[in-house]
Structure 1
């Protein structure tokens, strides 16, 4: 049996957090690709013309 990590968060289409979630997910995917055992928390805030990681 192999180990795996499953996480899930759902927001409805058009929700303001949708872009932020996609950015955070991409960051986590990139980190886990290099180090599958890493422990990471990624928070993203978006506003018109602004992204804070």
Structure 2
């Protein structure tokens, strides 16, 4: 995995308690397969759709 993919994976994992596991795993699979842009876009979509608050310390 690239550095960016690893960072996206870590960010997605940080939201595991706020998003359902399936959504987090979906984002992580995109990152794992080199689709970093799509992974980040999907994570943002999930966060917006679910109204997940984003804490600056996450």
User: Normalization by structure 1: what TM-score?
Assistant: 0.38
* Largest Rg, 1 or 2: 1
Q: Name the structure, 1 or 2, with higher relative contact order (CA <8 Å, separation 6+).
A: 2
* Structure richer in helix, relative to its length: 2
* Structure richer in strand, relative to its length: 1
